[in-house]
Amino acid sequence: MKDWGRIRYKYLCLPEPTSEAITPIVGTLLMSLILFVLASAIAICFFNIAGEGASSQPLMAKISLESCEGGIRYAQKGESASFENNTIVLIHEGGSPLPFDAISIKISGDGNCFQGVFGAGEQITGYVEVIYQNLSPTGKNPKYKSQNKEMLKDYLWSVGEKLVLHGNDSAVSSIKSSVRASVNGDYNTSDNYGFKAGSEITLKVIDVKSGTVIAEQRAIVKHAKK
Is 51 strand, coil or helix? Answer: helix
Under a CB-based contact definition with an 8 Å cutoff, are residues 80 and 73 in contact? yes
97 plus 185 within the same structural domain: yes
User: Does residue 97 surpass a pLDDT of 50?
Assistant: yes
Q: Looking at the structure, tell me whether residues 11 and 70 fall in a common domain.
A: no
Q: Are residues 198 and 103 in the same domain?
A: yes
Tell me, yes or no, whether 147 and 85 share the same domain: yes
The pLDDT value recorded for residue 73 is: 76
**Shared-domain flag, residues 35 and 119:** no
Q: Which domain holds residue 81?
A: 61-223
Q: Do both 51 and 97 map to the same domain?
A: no
Local confidence band at 171 (pLDDT 50, 70, 90 cut-offs):
confident
Query: 211 in helix, strand or coil?
Result: coil
Question: What one-character DSSP code corresponds to residue 64?
Answer: E
The CA distance from 111 to 115, in Å, is 13
How does residue 40 score in pLDDT terms, banded at 50, 70 and 90? low
Q: Name the domain count of the chain.
A: 2
Residues 94 and 16 both lie in one domain: no
pLDDT band at residue 34 using 50, 70 and 90 as cut-offs: confident
- Check pLDDT > 50 for residue 4: no
Instruction: Return mean pLDDT, the chain.
Output: 82
For residues 61 and 94, is the Cβ–Cβ distance under 8 A?
yes
Per-residue pLDDT reduced to its tens digit, 156-170: 999 999 999 999 999
Q: Is the same domain home to 84 and 191?
A: yes
Q: In terms of domains, do 23 and 131 share one?
A: no
Residues 82 and 192 placed together within one structural domain of the fold: yes
DSSP state of 76: S
pLDDT digits 0-9 by tens, 183-208: 999 998 989 999 999 999 999 999 99
Domain shared by 96 and 201, yes or no: yes
Same domain, 67 and 50: no
